Amino acid sequence: MSKIEKVLVTGKTHTTFSEAGRSARGLDIQLSSPGSNKPVHTFNAIQPHPTAEQLFSGAWSACFIAAVELVAKEMKVTLPAGLAVEIEVDLGQTGAAYFLQARLTTHLPGLDPEVASALVHAADQVCPYSKATRGNIDVALKVVTD
Q: What is the pLDDT along the chain (146 residues), one digit of tens a residue?
A: 778 999 999 998 888 866 543 232 334 555 555 555 555 555 555 445 578 898 899 889 989 999 999 999 999 999 998 999 999 999 999 999 999 999 999 999 999 999 999 999 999 999 999 999 999 999 999 999 99
At 14 the pLDDT is: 87
At 21 the pLDDT is: 36
Backbone angles phi, psi at 41, to 5 degrees: -130, 140
Question: In terms of Cα–Cα distance, which of 27, 9, 11, 30 is closest to 19?
Answer: 30
Domain spans of the chain? 12-46, 50-144
Q: Is 75 exposed, middle or buried (0-12, 13-18, 19+ CB in 10 A)?
A: exposed
CATH superfamily of this structure's domain 50-144: K homology (KH) domain (3.30.300.20)
At 40 the pLDDT is: 54
Q: Is 24 exposed, middle or buried (0-12, 13-18, 19+ CB in 10 A)?
A: exposed
Q: DSSP assignment, residue 46?
A: S
At 55 the pLDDT is: 87
At 23 the pLDDT is: 30
Q: Is 66 exposed, middle or buried (0-12, 13-18, 19+ CB in 10 A)?
A: buried
